[in-house]
A = this chain, B = another copy of it.
Amino acid sequence: MNTDALDALRARYGEQLSTAAPVLEAHGRDESHPTIHPPHAVLFAHSEADVVDALRLAVTHGFPVTPFAVGSSLEGQVIPVHGGLSLDVSGMNRVLSIEPGGFQATVQPGVTYPELNRQTRSHGLFFPVDPGAEASLGGMASTNASGTAAVRYGTTRDNVLELRVALMDGTVIRAGSRARKTSAGYDLKHLFIGAEGTLGVITELTVRLWPLPAHVTVVRGTFATVQAAAACAVAIMSAALQPERLELIDEHGIRAVNAYEGTAYPEVPTLWIELAAASGGALDDAVAACTDLCRDAGALHVDTARSAAERAALWAARHHAYPAMKALHPTHARLSTDVCVPLHRLPDVLAASRERCDAAGLDATFLGHVGDGNFHVLFHAAPDDAATWATVNDVYDHMISLALDAGGTCSGEHGVGLHKRTHLAREHGDSLHVMRGVKALLDPRGLLNPGKILP
């Protein structure tokens, strides 16, 4: 970024613009990467007009713009690898309206999903997508984040009704509709969801809210192997129990959680199955059916956590699995994979992946949103342990091949960002020319979050 550009930004934004070293450094990384690529400047946007003007200045002066909110992306999405401006929308954090009877809320992109849920709870409603960090809704839409509740409520994509998006041509468009369904013209909304800020900058979202479930419980089943646990997950989905959540955590993950949380869960592969119903009687029926299915699938032990406190502790533990693993190996670097396969292929892909890890002698933790066929393997090793990292990358490549061969995807929920561009080429090589055409249409000079998604 040249002096003219910086001067123009300073003239327009005054103290909203920062070039202080700690600010630049904080905007030069996300949750994925040890390397820091600081931007040349950070703009703390307060309004849509701030965003529109930043894009206009970027075009005038030819500098890159990388949108940023809380920085919790997992594939390097918010890292400004080509420098330029980090466009921080975390200050655009107002809930603009909540329409309980319309099951919707309109928010600025910097609103976090926990904050939205604090405000909707008194209406008996919630926004169900929970990726597990204090993620912003703009960021969640940009990566199509999901998490534990997607098995019942879908991903962020499925829960965005309407977007306002600032484009590089200086316009702001509205995509989608606040109506629950629409067949009016080309669906531009879904083009911006998951585009990781490479096609436009989301300035407002209307999202779908759902009724808080009335009666909830969690069934826990322990199993001898991850494969047996995955087979049980398939059986539960096939029985149409419609779990709210259906999570697998392997013995390594439980061990890390126990160490981190001071809990004493049995350190074996475990399914956590949250069930909900409109009446207590219906819930009892569901718990009985689920318990039978776990036993039929060879569960070592099945029990039930009915109290709200006990359930909250369980999900807190699940959401802390990643920091728990970090805490267990504080000096290690980490890599989290994120494949997703059609459900009937989950047990064999999971088993083959586990075998490969074991054969390679890797200390790998398996956990996942297995009701969706989505699982993560968390690898870790000393940053300078080149031999182990080479093995990790081999195993990772093999896992992606297994997933793609099974009709699955290289990214269930983390997105592509910096790190999965070559995997995207393996998965969607036949349509990359169309993706490039879309990028050229909306960002002809390649200034929006350059270096991401497209290989």
Contact = CB atoms under 8 A, between A and B. Distances in A.
Interface residues of A, number: 96
Given A178-B342, A431-B173, A184 B409 contact: yes
A178 B408 contact: yes
Interface in A166-205: 167, 169, 171-175, 177-191, 193-195, 199
A416 interface: yes
A297 interface: no
Contacts of A340: 177, 179-182
A438 interface: yes
Given A175-B431, A282-B281, A184 B99 contact: no
B234 A179 contact: no
Contacts of A240: 211, 213-214, 278
A267 B403 CA distance: 56
A181 B415 contact: no
A157 interface: yes
A121 to B, nearest CB: 15
Contacts of A194: 183, 185-187
Best-buried of A150, A181, A441 by chain B (most CB within 10 Å): A181
Interface string A220-235: 0000000000000010
Interface stretch (A27-35, A299-307, A422-430): A422-430
Contacts of A427: 177, 184-185
Given A104-B342, A343-B102, A441 B438 contact: yes
Contact of A183 (B171, B241, B415, B439): B415
B282 A412 contact: no
B431 A181 contact: no
15 contacts: A99-B342, A178-B407, A179-B374, A180-B342, A180-B343, A180-B374, A183-B415, A184-B409, A185-B454, A188-B431, A188-B435, A190-B191, A279-B285, A281-B282, A437-B442
A146 interface: yes
Contacts of A409: 177, 179, 181-184
Contact of A431 (B174, B193, B213, B433): B174
A247 interface: no
Nearest to A235: B101
A387 interface: no
A13 interface: no
A239 to B, nearest CB: 8
Interface in A273-326: 277-279, 281-282, 285-286, 289
Contacts of A251: none
A155 interface: yes
A341 interface: yes
A443 to B, nearest CB: 12
A85 interface: no
Interface in A151-171: 154-155, 157-158, 162, 167, 169, 171
Contacts of A403: 179
A373 interface: yes
Contacts of A171: 430, 433
A144 interface: yes
Report the 10 A-B pairs with minimum CB-CB distance, sorted nearest first. A101-B344, A190-B190, A211-B240, A282-B282, A178-B407, A102-B342, A182-B409, A173-B431, A179-B340, A102-B344
Contacts of A190: 187, 189-191
Best-buried of A177, A195, A441 by chain B (most CB within 10 Å): A177
A190 B434 CA distance: 13
Given A181-B372, A342-B179, A174 B144 contact: no
B183 A416 contact: yes
Contacts of A449: none
